[in-house]
Copies of this chain bind each other. A is one copy, B any other.
């Protein structure tokens, strides 16, 4: 008979609180689907919206104990901290300019934090958050959700093991172009927060989609971007922030590459993909076809690796649930992020010192890296595209993994 799982050892599910993610939040619905998948957590508390009516309706929709549907995250923190059955962990699903403050407050209270991306709205906030995480016992991770895909983890493992030789060229892009981001509404009051300068400055496109592209190539290559040349544009009529960014980059391992982030790639349904070229071959992956990772070797037949094969790397298989041939899709990738995080939380609750699953997850250093790239990109753009160094945090091979 199998050994007791960590869930059985703890004997209860993780008690989870949400900040943001109410019924009017697209990403909130995604979080709920993802966090339920494995039955490792119950949502028991929430400050689900800054709009009190939406917050209350959202709490009802989740059948929350009315006492635990809070009007503000501060109220939730104050109350839950003092409950014997208070939340173990919180998920931060608010706009980025509030992430640092909220995350720090919960970390200070010893509550584990899973934080939406971009991690913060400025590099300074990110720096401070790094310090906070370093000095607190609570766990922290960023939901760069695409790293939950088994074939992204397979790519990471294969590159690490030398399957394509030394990495030389790196293409990353998240070029979206669906109706929801392509155009500005005629009435500026209807504008989404992600398209306002007040949210995270003019580089909205880098924060919102660019961080995913940046994070995923750093994740799979194990290399940090250390230099960037940027060309930013505002394409949509009436938009007050940049909505298209071309970055040419250099990595600390010697590779060169490009990162393209866009809201105006009209007709693209999603647009996240990477291609990593080494001295001996390349790996190609697209989020819209996530079950497969392509390995191309010069002069040889192409290999299409499927999620879930016995021969896949253990790190990839650990993010896999069902047999090959049954597509798992985006929500199971997101659920893999949750499974790793919640397993880490359960281990912490059980008093275990090690939470090995956390190493699969984007860390606070990864989040810092994305914020520093944005700063450097803006600086480069202002200098006509001249290359600017990125002051990078710990290497991926160091602290993070």
Binding site for B on A (CB under 8 A): 1-2, 4-5, 7-8, 11-13, 23, 26, 29-30, 32-33, 36-39, 53-54, 57, 60-63, 164-165, 168-169, 176-180, 182, 229, 231, 233, 235, 244, 246, 248, 256, 258, 260, 262, 264-271, 275, 277-282, 287-291, 295-306, 309-311, 321-332, 384-387
Contacts and interface: CB of A to CB of B under 8 A. Distances in A.
A24 B68 CA distance: 37
Contacts of A248: 229, 231, 246, 248, 385
B267 A296 contact: yes
Given A33-B37, A327-B329, A331-B329, A302 B296 contact: no
A60 B4 contact: yes
A29 to B, nearest CB: 7
A284 to B, nearest CB: 8
Given A57-B1, A305-B301, A270 B179 contact: no
A322 B311 contact: no
B309 A299 contact: yes
Contact of A177 (B7, B231, B269, B298): B298
B39 A39 contact: no
A108 to B, nearest CB: 30
Contacts of A270: 324-326
If over half of A's interface residues share one DSSP class (helix, strand or loop), that class is named, otherwise mixed; here it is loop
Contacts of A266: 164-165, 168, 277-282, 296-298
Nearest to A292: B302
A7 B266 CA distance: 38
A260 B246 CA distance: 12
How many identical subunits does the complex contain?
Answer: 4
Nearest to A13: B63
Contacts of A177: 277, 282, 296, 298
Contact of A277 (B267, B275, B281): B267
Contacts of A165: 266
Contact of A169 (B63, B180, B265, B282): B265
Contacts of A8: 60-61, 63
A349 to B, nearest CB: 14
A179 B301 contact: no
B231 A246 contact: no
Nearest to A246: B248
Nearest to A173: B171
19 contacts: A11-B63, A26-B322, A26-B323, A32-B39, A33-B38, A169-B262, A169-B265, A177-B296, A182-B298, A265-B282, A266-B297, A266-B298, A267-B281, A267-B298, A269-B296, A288-B291, A327-B327, A331-B332, A385-B386
A169 B205 CA distance: 15
Contact of A329 (B13, B310, B328): B328
A296 B282 contact: no
Contacts of A332: 33, 329, 331
B39 A37 contact: no
A125 B46 CA distance: 49
Contact of A311 (B229, B282, B300): B300
Given A2-B23, A37-B331, A267-B302, 17 more contacts: A13-B63, A29-B321, A177-B282, A248-B248, A264-B277, A265-B282, A266-B298, A267-B298, A270-B325, A287-B327, A288-B291, A289-B327, A327-B327, A328-B329, A329-B332, A384-B386, A385-B385
